[in-house]
Amino acid sequence: MATIRVNVTGKNIEVTPALRSYAEKKVAKLEKYLNDNASASAEVMLRVERGVHIAEVTVNLSGVMLRGEGKTGDMYTSIDAAVDRIERQFNKYKTKINRKIHGPKLGEMVTPPALETQEEEGPRIVRTKRFALKPMDAEEAVMQMELLGHDFFVFRDAETSEVNVVYKRRDGNYGLIESEY
């Protein structure tokens, strides 16, 4: 049976052993969706902002990302809500995900170049994310974008090996940006 490696971190909250155990137990329930040979990991970020308890759960199922967030007045309830959202997403996309899990392995990590701003007053980069670019087609990239709840998604095209971007348009449709060199 496959297992999920779980990492629980906190921001503006002390992650007690009871809270850590509860989060690990809830995320472990997602193991029932894994094939025996699937690898999975989960990041659980617990934080408190203005009295609201927020639990963000991101699960990586062999390159397929699922993200759920719960915001309530109680951290335990927020964890439940985040895991429930991931379960609903998984059930909604089960067929597509099972088809894609057995696809190509994760690509190489891409590190964006460090950008420095010289103006103190202008916008600045306050967060950097790193992720593996898994080769996929535009349809799967749209699915990943929707699963993550984002407005855009960067991916490596499986046919051309070029880095492309899909994005959600204001009219409800999707756009594709193809790179040229």
pLDDT tier, 59 (very low <50, low <70, confident <90, very high otherwise): confident
In three state form, how does the secondary structure of the chain look? CCCEEEEEEEECCCCCHHHHHHHHHHHHHHHHHCCCCCCEEEEEEEEEECCEEEEEEEEEECCEEEEEEEEECCHHHHHHHHHHHHHHHHHHCHHHHHHHHCCCCCCCEECCCCCCCCCCCCCCCCCCCCEECCEECHHHHHHHHHHHCCCEEEEEECCCCCEEEEEECCCCCEEEEECCC
**Which segment of 1-10, 41-50, 84-93 scores lowest on mean pLDDT?**
1-10
pLDDT tens-place string over residues 141-170: 998 888 888 899 999 998 888 999 999 988
| Higher local confidence (pLDDT), 25 or 95 | 25
Residue 101's pLDDT is what?
A: 57
Sorted by where each starts, the structural domains of the chain and their CATH numbers stand as 4-101 (3.30.160.100), 109-178 (3.30.505.50)
